[in-house]
């Protein structure tokens, strides 16, 4: 059995559902056992509820500083999807493509670098524990650490043709809370102020913000309000998500959310807005294009870029101005389902590509050489 498959089996045999702190920590400790013999020093960021976050640091010297980024958690609770299997082409199991498989690509490439160079410098590997639940705990840490690097490789799954991810939508989740006035619907109808009716107007205005031509969506996914059929609704909440492909669209949406919240379509209602941008947009850019051209020359692989509507921690690093590429893991599908699988041939190609890229970095110290 190929070494990457042996390592993958070890990782995927540990349940690391985001809420299973012990399991997530056990995955991190296993990575620690593999990385420290390569010269990495481990810095642990302890957490009480979610798993600990781990930064594996290499020696420092002059030259470009590179961050490898992954996550240890998966979406499967214990007993839900715990088995690993394989056939001639595919390996099946929890996290084989999202993203223990990606972590293995990074690990095996680092092993090759160490064999070739005898040491590793200016390449750090950061593994968070809560990406699948939105990175709420690790976000601030990722944003702070990102400032220390020039380039970042993120090992989420590749595209079907081994595309790399050059752009990801930004995403935010918000709640509009509407306060009206309760009244008996049969006896004192005119004395009531209907929060549900106000919500219906706001729903239509929010939906109008969607612009599919530029990739902007606004989805009111949940509405909850009222007491019963015989009572004018005194309160209603709209839970909504925004997704956008540019900073300009982000700013437009945020401005419109304020406007719609502040406007009272039903006289007497009062509305408030709460929420936040969870991951800001990762936009393709010319510096990224230049880097891709260089990586193609170094590795001999054609790197086709694609933009995705889904988000990852690449959004955080890119928002700090770090030149970032995502999708450096293997190709797989069925992620977040019990049919998750990854293509074996994509592992070997990705490991080979990343080995060549990182060995070049060790020899030249810069991607501009």
Please tell me the predicted confidence (pLDDT) of residue 369: 76
8 and 28 in a single domain? The answer is yes
Return averaged pLDDT per consecutive 10 residues of the chain, 369 residues in all.
93 97 98 98 98 98 97 95 93 97 98 96 98 96 98 97 97 98 97 98 98 97 98 98 97 98 98 96 96 97 95 97 98 96 98 98 91
Q: Which two tokens stand for residue 2?
A: 């190929």
Which domain, by its residues, includes 214? 170-279
Same domain, 146 and 7: yes
63-92 burial: b if 16+ Cβ within 10 Å, else e:
bbbbbbbbbbbbbbeeeebeebebeeebbb
Number of domains in the chain: 2
Whether residue 223 sits in one domain with residue 135: no
> Which helix (H) or strand (E) covers residue 137, if one does?
none
What tokens appear for 317 in the block? 């690093």
- 81 plus 114 within the same structural domain: yes
Does a structural domain hold residue 129? yes
**Domain-located, residue 369:** no
Among candidate residues 231, 261, 279, the one where a domain is terminated: 279
**211, 246, 279 — which closes off a domain?**
279
Q: Which of 236, 262, 279 is the last residue of a domain?
A: 279
Which CATH number is 145's domain given?
A: 3.40.630.10
Please give the pLDDT value at position 83: 87
* Nearest by Cα to 69 from 99, 37, 39: 99
Element (H, E) at 360: helix 344-364
Which CATH number goes with the domain that contains 246?
A: 3.30.70.360
- Which string of b and e fits 115-125 if b means at least 16 CB within 10 Å? eeeeebbbbbb
Say if residue 219 is in the same domain as residue 292: no
In terms of domains, do 89 and 123 share one? Answer: yes
100 and 219 housed in the same domain: no
């Amino acid at each position: 059995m190929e070494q990457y498959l042996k390592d993958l089996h070890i990782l995927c045999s540990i349940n690391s559902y985001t809420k299973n702190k012990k399991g997530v920590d056990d995955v991190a400790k296993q990575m620690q056992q593999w990385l420290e013999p390569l010269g990495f020093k481990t810095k642990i960021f302890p957490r009480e509820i979610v798993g600990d976050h781990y930064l594996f640091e290499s020696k420092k010297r002059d030259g470009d500083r590179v961050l490898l980024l992954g996550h240890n958690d998966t979406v499967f609770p214990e007993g839900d999807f715990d088995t690993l299997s394989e056939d001639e082409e595919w390996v099946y199991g929890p996290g084989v493509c999202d993203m223990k498989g990606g972590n293995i690509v990074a690990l095996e490439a680092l092993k090759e670098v160490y064999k070739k160079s005898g040491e590793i410098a200016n390449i750090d590997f950061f593994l968070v524990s809560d990406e699948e639940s939105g990175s709420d705990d690790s976000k601030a840490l990722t944003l702070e650490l990102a400032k220390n690097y020039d380039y970042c490789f993120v090992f989420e799954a590749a595209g079907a043709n081994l595309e790399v991810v050059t752009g990801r939508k930004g995403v935010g989740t918000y709640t509009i809370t509407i306060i009206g006035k309760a009244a008996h619907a049969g006896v004192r109808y005119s004395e009531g102020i209907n929060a549900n009716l106000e919500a219906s107007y706001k729903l239509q205005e929010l939906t109008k913000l969607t612009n599919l031509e530029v990739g902007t969506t606004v989805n009111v996914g949940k509405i909850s309000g009222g007491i019963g059929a015989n009572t004018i609704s005194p309160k209603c909440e709209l839970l909504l998500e925004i997704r956008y492909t540019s900073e300009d669209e982000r700013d437009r949406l945020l401005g419109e959310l304020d406007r719609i919240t502040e406007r009272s379509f039903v006289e007497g209602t009062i509305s408030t807005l709460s929420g936040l941008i969870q991951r800001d947009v990762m936009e393709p850019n010319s510096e990224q294009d230049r880097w891709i051209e260089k990586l193609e020359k170094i590795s001999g692989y054609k790197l086709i870029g694609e933009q995705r509507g889904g988000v990852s921690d690449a959004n955080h690093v890119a928002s700090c101005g770090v030149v970032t590429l995502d999708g450096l893991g293997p190709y797989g599908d069925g992620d977040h389902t019990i049919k998750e699988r990854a293509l074996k041939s994509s592992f070997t190609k990705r490991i080979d590509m990343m080995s060549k890229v990182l060995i070049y970095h060790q020899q030249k110290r810069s991607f501009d050489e």
